[in-house]
Amino acid sequence: MKHFDDTESLITVRDWLRFAVSRFNEAGLFFGHGSDNAFDEAAYLILHTLHLPLDRLDPFLDASLTHGESEQVQAVIERRVKERIPAAYLTHEAWLGGYRFHVDERVIVPRSFIAELLHEQLAPWVEDPDAVGSVLDLCTGSGCLAILAALAFPDSRIDAVDLSREALDVAAKNVADYGLQDRVELIESDLFAALDGRTYDVIISNPPYVNAESVAALPPEYRAEPALALGSGEDGLDATRQILARAQSHLNPGGLLLVEIGHNRDALEAAYPALPFTWLDTERGDQFVFMLRREDLR
């Protein structure tokens, strides 16, 4: 049974785009998984559903849809409104740093600030990218940061670690899509638990960091993601504490630790007043990622 009335009058891409924007705004959807507004999300979902280039809306605005295409577009709009799941789970893809990754409900939707830093090969903190021989990606999820690290440091081997076997299954598909099976090893582990004896030039992590109060207030779109990948104790720092406690023994001399912690800077600095955190700026947001060298962690 159709959920929407009078959709027979919607003929063109422009018609369906207008309709989708109205429905998304009316439903009060939350946008934070690739788009930040109803128009961009509607355009993305319609173009993807119609197998059109995602960056070329204008040439197709006045193109008429077939009856079958209209049904497909209506279905994806209806699912987005009724189920309140991120668009990435509807299309099974997410983009990070200009790269496409397969995603589904087994993994958090990629959106890490660390991606931009990897695109710049961690400059100026890494002076010679070709000299980076080993990288660890803790809490790898879909494997996106591990893959970006492999592309940024062409002579490196990457260990990609996650507690979730289901997440690692998704990561395995992405690693294979990029042909990196020989350089990226997927490891099921609770942070460093299964990594005895392994050391790295760079450790990166986008761990769970949402505090309990914020988890309780999350919109439905975020609650559709794996809870394991979001919350981390009362103050959001449980995972980060474990990383700080053990990272030194897994870093080579001069090695770098980069961890994303969201809006928890004040709480972290209060908990670790002796650590000389360097807070890194990105175009998408300032000072959500800290850096420490191995020698800082004594």
Residue 197 in this model has a pLDDT that exceeds 90:
yes
> Is 202 within a domain?
yes
pLDDT in tens, 56-87: 999 999 999 999 999 999 999 999 999 999 99
Beta strands in the chain (DSSP E): 94-96, 99-101, 134-138, 157-162, 184-188, 200-205, 251-260, 278-281, 286-293
Confidence tier at 169 by pLDDT (50, 70, 90): very high
Greatest mean pLDDT among 84-93, 217-226, 233-242, 265-274 lies in: 84-93
Confidence tier at 296 by pLDDT (50, 70, 90): very high
Mean pLDDT of the residues in the chain = 90
Confidence tier at 232 by pLDDT (50, 70, 90): low
Q: What CATH number is attached to the domain comprising 78?
A: 1.10.8
Residue 104 in this model has a pLDDT that exceeds 50:
yes
Residue 2 in this model has a pLDDT that exceeds 50:
no
> Is 16 within a domain?
yes
CA dist., res. 97 & res. 142, Å (int): 14
Instruction: Report which of residues 224 and 232 the model is more confident about.
Output: 224
Q: Distance of CA 211 to CAs 11, 12, 181, 203, 277, Å?
A: 46, 45, 35, 23, 21
Would you say 252 and 199 are in contact if contact means Cβ atoms under 8 Å apart?
yes
Confidence tier at 157 by pLDDT (50, 70, 90): very high
- 61, 91, 121 — which closes off a domain? 91
Residue 228 in this model has a pLDDT that exceeds 90:
no
SS3 state of residue 74: helix
Question: How many folded domains does the chain comprise?
Answer: 2
> Is 1 within a domain?
no
> Is 99 within a domain?
no
CA dist., res. 164 & res. 184, Å (int): 17
Mean pLDDT of the region 221-236 = 66
Instruction: Report which of residues 286 and 161 the model is more confident about.
Output: 161
Tell me what pLDDT residue 218 has. 75
Task: Spell out a b/e string for 112-142, using b for 16 or more CB atoms within 10 Å of the CB, else e.
Answer: bbbbbbbbebbeeebeeeeebebbbbbbbbb
Would you say 148 and 154 are in contact if contact means Cβ atoms under 8 Å apart?
no
pLDDT in tens, 8-64: 899 999 999 999 999 999 999 988 887 889 999 999 999 999 999 999 999 999 999
> Is 2 within a domain?
no
Whether 167 and 286 share a structural domain: yes
Tell me what pLDDT residue 238 has. 84
Q: Residue written as tokens 């958090």? A: 108
Q: What CATH number is attached to the domain comprising 235?
A: 3.40.50.150
Whether 205 and 245 share a structural domain: yes
Whether 253 and 291 share a structural domain: yes
Whether 134 and 223 share a structural domain: yes
Whether 142 and 29 share a structural domain: no
Lowest mean pLDDT among 157-166, 191-200, 201-210: 201-210
Mean pLDDT of the region 210-235 = 67
> Is 96 within a domain?
no
Range of the domain at 266: 107-297
Would you say 153 and 135 are in contact if contact means Cβ atoms under 8 Å apart?
yes
